[in-house]
Amino acid sequence: MGSSQSAERVIPEQAVQDLHREDRILQERTEEERDASIIRHVHHALRHYNANDEGLDFVPVKPLMAAYVGFRGHIWVHVSFLARRSKITSSKRRRGKDDPVKHFFAELRYDHHFGTPTVETCTIIGKWPA
C-alpha cells in the first residue's frame, strides 16, 4: 500500500498560475468579443433545431454563455442563448414585437478530425422574462 500522499494529486504551481491567467483573460474580454466567440455554436444549434421542428424557425437574439470540455478526443460545448421566431412573410401572421424571446440550451460535440459539430441536443428551456 502506498502512502496517503501518493494517492493525492498534486497540481504544480505553474499549472495553477496558467489556469488563473486563462481565467483573467476570459474575464477581460468585452461582451462583444464573448458573443462573437459563441455565435457560431448558436448558429449550428439553431440550424439543427429549425431542421427538426419545421414551421418554428428561430433566429438568434443574444448568446448568453458557453462552456467547453475535452473528453475522449472531442470538444463538447454547452451553449445558452436567446432566440425568437423568424419573420413570417405570409399574410396570415407577421411577427410582432410581442413574439416572446425563448431561452435555449444546446450541446454540441466537435470531433478533433472534423470542424463541423454534431448537435447532440438543442431545446427551449424556458421563457425569458420581458
Count of beta carbons in the 10 Å neighbourhood of residue 57 = 16
Instruction: Cell 424556458: give the residue.
Output: 126
Single out the residue of 33, 46, 56 nearest to residue 104, CA to CA. 46
How far apart CA 58 and CA 85 sit, in angstroms, is: 4
Round to whole Å and give the CA distance between 48 and 99. 21
Low-confidence ranges of the chain (pLDDT < 70): 1-27, 88-98, 126-130
Contact of 34 with 70, CB cutoff 8 Å: no
What is 12-127's CATH number? 3.10.450.10
Reported as a single tens digit per residue, the pLDDT across 72-99 is 778 889 999 999 998 764 444 555 556 7
**Cell numbers at 27, concatenated:** 474575464
In the chain, domain spans:
12-127
Confidence (pTM): 0.67
